[in-house]
């Protein structure tokens, strides 16, 4: 049989299977490329075959028990000229240093047989959960598009899709909770003299109005209120008996100007304004040991500075991917680790966590990558006498992984006494 009849037979067999149930082995990318080479107009037929088992496609790697082969697929319009994958998992392939995000970190996808279907395959550790989206370029510029073929998403409007591999940790703390089971959520505003602005707070009191419950204070109400609701994480951990009932207070944002004040304005806001206001407004007792402050990235750095400079007010700090490479102008990187004196008698506990994929050199970290800078900060804290734990979570600089890291940190810091 000549080559062309063989190819046509494949085309006809694929077309016949288009309406059949998804049984047997999934169609391979090589078969799809052959189909589209012979029949360029069969894009919809090829897409049905590619996507019927769910997207992205995840396959085992022979001889590699630690990673899975993940193929991202996107069916674009005819006027699209470029598609790139936007995800922290790109760290498994990108070249260093990353100086311009789209050029250096967002990985280009390739057309299958010059069709409208774009693909990119990466080998990803099997314990990773990460968000991703596509950067799609057409006549009107570049826009971010979530994966329409993947129903696993972060929360909120236009939320990014989630890649979840088979060795991801316990996901039960992330289960959605109906608002009726959470109690009365309040959006309140206080005028801050320290920050010179009104601050919007998203407040979820502990169940049954327990005035003696500890409080979790987190920066970034968008991430922890909408994309990965911290109130639900706390509720699920409480329901599982892993932590005591806990108030949740979300601060709207971290002021970009606070770096100029070395984040001392944030420490004043927390210790001198927010905590007294919570005690007065809600009747919460909030002894020092009941106050946990946290955040991710630059917000984790700010939380750590608050814990260090106001230990009389803060009992514990959780920093996820804290930006400990940061330094004020004219100072060397990793400035905070060099500022530590001996811990006070009542020292806050610190839990620092960084992602296994946070090893990429960027123009921002100048080679002081997150994994190294967080480990160095944890060692400096321990040497100064602060009770400190350092964890490496699977994933990268991404709320998808931070959610699990936060749940594990809370369970570790507040596990009930045996």
At residue 12, does pLDDT exceed 70? no
User: ω before 97 within 30° of 0 (cis)?
Assistant: yes
- For residue 416, what pLDDT band results from cuts at 50, 70 and 90? confident
At residue 281, does pLDDT exceed 60? yes
Exposed/middle/buried for residue 175 (C-beta within 10 Å: 0-12, 13-18, 19+): exposed
3-state SS class at 381: helix
Q: What is the pLDDT of residue 127?
A: 98
Q: What is the pLDDT of residue 234?
A: 98
CA distances from 183 to 235, 248, 251 (A): 10, 12, 19
String of DSSP letters for 17-83: HTTS-S-SSPPPHHHHHHHHHH-TT-HHHHHHHHHTT-SSEEEEETTEEEEEEEEEEEE--TT--EE
Structural domains in the chain, sorted by start: 44-164 (2.60.40.10), 172-413 (3.40.50.1820)
pLDDT digits (tens, 9 = 90+) for 151-197: 999 998 889 999 999 999 999 999 999 999 998 999 999 999 999 99
At residue 8, does pLDDT exceed 70? no
String of DSSP letters for 199-266: EEEEEEPPGGG-TT--EEEEE-HHIIIIIS-HHHHHHHHHHTTSS---EEEEES---GGGGGGTTHHH
The one-character DSSP state at 330 is T
Q: What is the CA radius of gyration of the chain?
A: 25
Distance separating alpha carbons of residues 20 and 153, to the nearest angstrom: 28
pLDDT digits (tens, 9 = 90+) for 289-324: 999 999 999 999 999 999 999 999 999 999 999 999
Considering only 123-127, 156-160, 401-405, which range has the smallest mean pLDDT? 156-160
pLDDT digits (tens, 9 = 90+) for 359-382: 999 999 999 999 999 999 999 999
At residue 23, does pLDDT exceed 80? no
pLDDT digits (tens, 9 = 90+) for 219-262: 999 999 999 999 999 999 999 999 999 999 999 999 999 999 99
Q: Tokens 């067999």, residue?
A: 13
Q: Does pTM top 0.75 for this prediction?
A: yes
Q: What is the pLDDT of residue 157?
A: 80
Q: What is the pLDDT of residue 24?
A: 43
Q: What is the pLDDT of residue 2?
A: 44
pLDDT digits (tens, 9 = 90+) for 64-88: 999 999 999 999 999 999 999 999 9
At residue 358, does pLDDT exceed 90? yes
Q: What is the pLDDT of residue 96?
A: 87
pLDDT digits (tens, 9 = 90+) for 196-224: 999 999 999 998 778 899 999 999 999 99
- The half-sphere exposure of 197 on its side-chain side, counting CA atoms within 13 A, is 14
Q: Tell me the average pLDDT of the chain.
A: 93
Q: What is the pLDDT of residue 108?
A: 98
């Amino acid at each position: 049989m000549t080559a062309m009849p063989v190819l046509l037979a494949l085309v006809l067999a694929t077309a016949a299977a288009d309406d059949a149930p998804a049984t047997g082995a999934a169609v391979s990318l090589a078969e799809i490329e052959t189909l589209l080479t012979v029949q360029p107009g069969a894009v919809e037929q090829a897409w049905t075959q590619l996507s019927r088992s769910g997207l992205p496609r995840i396959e085992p790697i022979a001889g590699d028990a630690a990673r899975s082969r993940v193929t991202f697929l996107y069916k674009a319009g005819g006027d699209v000229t470029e598609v790139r994958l936007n995800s922290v998992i790109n760290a498994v392939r990108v070249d260093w240093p990353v100086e311009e995000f789209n050029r250096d970190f967002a990985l280009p996808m390739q057309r299958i047989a010059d069709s409208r279907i774009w693909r990119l395959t990466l080998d990803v550790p099997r314990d990773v959960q990460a968000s991703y989206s596509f950067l799609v370029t057409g006549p009107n510029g570049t826009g971010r598009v979530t994966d329409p073929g993947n129903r696993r998403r972060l929360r909120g409007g236009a939320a990014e899709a989630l890649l979840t591999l088979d060795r991801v940790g316990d996901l039960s703390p992330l289960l959605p909770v109906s608002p009726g089971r959470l109690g009365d959520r309040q959006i309140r505003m206080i005028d801050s003299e320290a920050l010179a602005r009104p601050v919007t707070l998203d407040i979820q009191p502990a169940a049954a109005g327990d005035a003696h419950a500890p409080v979790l204070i987190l920066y970034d109400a968008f991430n922890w209120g909408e994309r990965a609701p911290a109130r639900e994480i706390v509720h699920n951990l409480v329901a599982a008996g892993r932590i005591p009932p806990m108030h949740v207070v979300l601060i709207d944002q971290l002021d970009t100007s606070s770096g100029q004040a070395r984040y001392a304005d944030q420490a004043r806001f927390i210790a001198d304004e927010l905590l007294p206001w919570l005690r007065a407004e809600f009747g919460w007792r909030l002894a020092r040991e009941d106050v946990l402050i946290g955040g991710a990235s630059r917000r984790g750095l700010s939380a750590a500075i608050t814990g260090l400079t106001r230990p009389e007010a803060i009992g514990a700090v959780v920093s996820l991917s804290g930006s400990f490479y940061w330094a004020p102008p004219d100072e060397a990187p990793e400035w905070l680790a060099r500022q530590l004196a001996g811990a006070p008698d009542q020292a806050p506990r610190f839990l620092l966590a960084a992602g296994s994929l946070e090893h990429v050199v960027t123009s921002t970290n100048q080679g002081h990558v997150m994994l190294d800078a967080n480990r160095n900060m944890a060692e400096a804290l321990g040497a100064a006498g602060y009770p400190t734990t350092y964890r490496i979570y699977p994933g990268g600089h991404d709320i998808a992984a931070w959610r699990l890291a936060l749940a594990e940190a809370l369970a570790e810091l507040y596990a009930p006494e045996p």
